[in-house]
């Protein structure tokens, strides 16, 4: 399960609402996973720890985040023995890509997959990404679609714009937030490269043959 993550990407934008979006995202995670309601700056990046409850001083935290060429880089981890990690690179003005990644440590958590789907839907509403997914990077690589510049297709994937189904392609499709949710008809534990390729084909992504 170590290769599973929730990731969202969007075209870089000069975003004055980063703090509000971060706060809303942490709240959404805490609603779905109450054990992830207290966060600190991630000490992997050599910064001082600062406890941040979901109602805490998010604006101060974001303002103090490292900025390179106008980009906010924020790295948080939740408290507890099995923490969540929150990594954000956002605020670029131009062709660069902004990215949010959420990673969790509890290998059994995906058994309750609807809670993860709840977080993904919240992330889409909050950040308005071009795409977002709950995906296994190892499976995506095995399917031949884990590469820069394209959406990472997973168990549940959001893409901006309307997507229609196709005969013989067993992927659930649901319009959502000016885009489409594509969900594999199996649990995350049963997801295979076949499901990933099927969803990818619906959005025009073909596997890369090595």
At residue 69, the pLDDT reads 66
At residue 5, the pLDDT reads 95
Q: Are residues 68 and 160 in the same domain?
A: no
Domain span including residue 30 = 1-129
* Domain stop point among 107, 129, 151: 129
pTM of the model: 0.89
Q: Are residues 61 and 152 in the same domain?
A: no
Q: Are residues 110 and 38 in the same domain?
A: yes
Nearest to 72 by CA among 93, 95, 44, 49: 93
What whole-number distance in Å separates Cα of residue 43 and Cα of residue 22? 19
Q: Are 32 and 119 in contact (CB under 8 A)?
A: yes
Reported as a single tens digit per residue, the pLDDT across 38-87 is 888 765 554 444 444 544 577 777 777 756 566 788 888 888 778 899 99
């Amino acid at each position: 399960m170590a290769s599973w993550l929730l990731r969202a990407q969007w075209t870089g934008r000069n975003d004055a609402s980063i703090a509000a979006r971060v706060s809303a995202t942490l709240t959404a995670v805490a609603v779905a996973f109450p054990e992830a309601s207290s966060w600190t700056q991630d000490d992997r990046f050599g910064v001082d720890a600062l406890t941040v409850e979901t109602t805490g001083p998010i604006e101060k935290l974001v303002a103090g985040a490292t900025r390179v060429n106008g980009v906010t880089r924020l790295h948080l981890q939740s408290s507890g023995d099995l923490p969540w990690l929150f990594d954000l690179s956002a605020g670029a003005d131009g062709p660069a890509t902004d990215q949010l990644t959420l990673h969790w440590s509890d290998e059994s958590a995906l058994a309750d997959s609807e809670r993860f789907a709840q977080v993904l839907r919240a992330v889409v509403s909050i950040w308005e990404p071009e795409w977002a997914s709950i995906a296994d990077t190892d499976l995506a690589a095995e399917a031949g679609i884990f590469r820069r510049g394209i959406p990472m297709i997973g168990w549940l994937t959001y893409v901006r714009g309307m997507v229609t189904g196709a005969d013989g392609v067993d992927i659930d499709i649901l319009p959502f937030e000016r885009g489409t949710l594509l969900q594999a008809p199996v649990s995350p534990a049963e997801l295979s490269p076949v499901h990933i390729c099927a969803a990818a084909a619906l959005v025009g992504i073909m596997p890369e043959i090595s």
